[in-house]
Chains A and B, each alone.
Chain A
């Protein structure tokens, strides 16, 4: 039994006390990277389980029978849709938030796996283009580094409205990471705490965006798909508006999505979970009779092939990974442990991307730290992760009797909680009931 004298408050926990005292000292909200750190009490992909074949369905041989993983994005309007060998893509993360070595390693890793990677806030790094097979060019509200020539070199254009970690707010790049090189790339003074805008400079609402999407399509001669990426908030309505605006591909980034630096409260208290987001997005496209014609990419805390397979079964054509790819690069690995301690972190508990002092050379602009991430080895780990995740998806698909991972469907799963049943419209395990429907 707890000592009544030493008992801690359930309201003013040590973490709350630290937060209040930190703000009392700094006069500023807390800023950090990584994404939500809360213990998840909301419905997640873990609240679903696959129902493999037994007598009612016949499985495919798990280790050998053909199970296709290729995916095509941009079939609606683009002359040159994106063809990927695997349904896992690398999401947009800026050169600035990430080191040059990290960006190039992600590009090479994605290329080796037959996947894609995405630029980020700050424009295209030429070394990234040279090392990519399929590179998607992000057009963000800041327009840092915007360059029509780079757009013409891209395989897809992603108009980013928001990000899952912080929908409705722009990103941050603190002064320690705005090196001379990064400042030049972004047309900023070196060392400023760069605050990206939330609104695009040249359109505001969904009706304007119709013209904006057309502009991007005109600028690229209709060759490549136009993605529209949103943080998950009012997903059902937002997806409908993006589809109406002419998006070829819609990306929905759930609240578990990562960030290089943002106010902590936004990471913890804004947006809806990825599981809920994929269900709303699919419903929106189905209600517009555009499901299958407009492709859906889901992002936000996707950890492994299981999460990705469940997202695909719920309606995604492909998934983005960000944090998982950085972890493959070495993020939070117990190397250079003393340098984690110097920034007040520890392996497995580091979310200090915002400091620019990443001990493993991933989220830094310090040349010394960056050297800790040899590109070839890091690229191989990224490629291996993409392969392994794809094998996991195939494993589950074959067990469910599917010869193409895209044939996974909600009927292949049962819900383990009433919340997941209600959100996904899937019967609760042990019942034939879909709760809330």
Chain B
């Protein structure tokens, strides 16, 4: 993490999004790596495409694609975030204190996304790495086609959870609404339990953590690998899958 300089404030107001993002990028280029966005007004595309180390604090809610296509910075959103939160992130950290809309952490290749509230549908879809942690529930088709990385949902999931995955590993503390095609439950290992314990301790306060299930209560879901290659013996799987 870059050294934090005195906090710079970017007033969002009714300014064009281009102007807001260009001001953020100009501040970072000038070495002002601690930035707060005041009055974000749930504007779309806040903080998109930032590829430098910085800490950006959004004092309110953000719209679609907040922190999308980033590599390196850390974002904190006081409110909620719209669709496509942190999509295609390469590295960095995005923390949302409220809820997140559809497709949060879609296609991320690295970094960490923490959503303290609930996540809507298609959480972590096509994720290719990184860590996604949701304090509450998630909607349908979370982790769909997950390729790599770890997805943790402390609450309940929606339908078709972990459908058609490759190598993403999922953990669910609540009830799995419905397993997707080729998703299988696997026993937790001691390493898994240690990882869950440490991850929850890292990202949640003690009080918050106390309200989450104990690491041993989580279920682990991985790909059954039946869809990885076409095989006529599995035609009934394919009928469901395609």
**Which residues of A does B touch, CB under 8 Å?**
26-28, 142-144, 146-149, 151-152, 174-175, 186-189, 191-193, 195, 197, 201-204, 208, 211-212, 214-215, 218-222
Contacts and interface: CB of A to CB of B under 8 A. Distances in A.
Contacts of A204: 102
Contact of B166 (A152, A192, A203, A220): A192
Interface stretch (B17-25, B31-39, B208-216): B17-25
A226 to B, nearest CB: 13
B128 A28 contact: no
Q: Which of B17, B63, B126 has the most CB of A within 10 A?
A: B126
Nearest to B164: A195
A189 B223 CA distance: 12
Interface residues of B, number: 46
Contact of B84 (A28, A175, A197, A202): A202
Contacts of B49: 148, 151-152, 218-221
Contact of B232 (A26, A187, A189): A26
Contacts of A211: 44-45, 63-65, 83
Given A143-B106, A186-B147, A202-B125, 11 more contacts: A146-B88, A146-B128, A149-B51, A151-B69, A187-B129, A188-B166, A202-B83, A203-B83, A214-B45, A215-B65, A222-B18
30 contacts: A28-B230, A142-B126, A143-B107, A146-B109, A147-B90, A148-B49, A148-B90, A149-B51, A151-B49, A175-B229, A187-B129, A188-B166, A189-B167, A189-B228, A191-B229, A192-B229, A201-B125, A202-B65, A202-B68, A202-B107, A208-B64, A208-B83, A211-B63, A214-B44, A215-B69, A218-B17, A218-B18, A218-B45, A219-B48, A219-B49
A189 B147 CA distance: 8
A346 B68 CA distance: 47
A151 B69 CA distance: 10
Interface in B81-96: 83-84, 87-88, 90
B147 A187 contact: yes
Contacts of A192: 166, 228-229
B230 A193 contact: yes
A122 to B, nearest CB: 12
A201 B88 CA distance: 10
Q: Is the interface of B mostly helix, strand, loop or mixed?
A: loop
Contact of B70 (A27, A143, A148, A152): A148
Contact of B235 (A27, A144, A220): A27
B71 interface: yes
The 6 closest A-B pairs by CB, nearest first: A219-B49, A27-B232, A202-B84, A201-B106, A143-B107, A187-B128
Contact of A201 (B64, B69, B87): B87
